[in-house]
Structure 1
């Protein structure tokens, strides 16, 4: 007797951790919440986790301890969170500055780089006063500077690179879910990055 074709498994949980990296405004938190629900995982935002533990907002930590102090806290939290199972983790934009963070993320889960042009990021963040690094006379120039310096680091850490463009969040999540499930069916991902082009 012929074996029936397996039914689509889009509702089944997907094993492993998912880590979202990218600059501020890339959509890591918005994408992460929906993606976690679809994949049957727990969503965690590293910045929110830091705020919960310290009892103060990220801008206050920057003001009191400086960026170096915040990065130290961030690294400690990330190194702890990657020990968890079945999570979708939205990381802070500067998490990749520490090579130990890059190694920890890449070796314990699938890293997805949500990439967007600085002009798009500026359009999304220009009214947000909770971005310490953008409290400058020229925030767009700061975003361009951050993109130049961090893009190579995001690429180094990433297994998947996704140009977010102007597509709707749910459209982007659907693309990611399909790609992740296809990769899971195909077996272990190879060491090279896999580029996802922006939908027209």
Structure 2
């Protein structure tokens, strides 16, 4: 894979990149962020957390993003680094035990998790509102506005997504991750997490089902 999708083995960092993660209070989004923090980001990069909000969907709905305990005083060792990074995985919508209440700003929690894991990383949290049907358009517009080099989005594999992919005819409707992979001007990576230690399946326009160990 190219260096824009994963860190190289100890090579020199080139120029500062702008990386955007589509941020939602879901496990898929948390997995995408975990992938970026663990395998993609360098501390001289700029990380954008973009949340596209559908006011009619989120109104009167309890959202919950659970972030496990993160050690602010973790050492620079690989094991401590991995422990902290795993803290951003586990986000979901719902009312399960162990979650914080509905007024929690999950976007700020994700931003805080990034800053704990990479203290010198510049992280920007963004929110835009749009109709659900225009979500992919809104995301692509933001990548242009901010000059994003790499877009990362969590992906949920399902039978319905597979059917939509087969029947896609260029319509914006359907699976947002698939549409962005195919149509974003910048490189887009859709990330699926396979268990806590099972690694990731990465999807881009040129690489399908690329396996990356956690």
TM, length-normalised to structure 2: 0.36
Between Structure 1 and Structure 2, which shows a larger proportion of helix residues?
Answer: 1
Between Structure 1 and Structure 2, which shows a larger proportion of strand residues?
Answer: 2
Say which one has the larger Rg: 1
TM, length-normalised to structure 1: 0.37
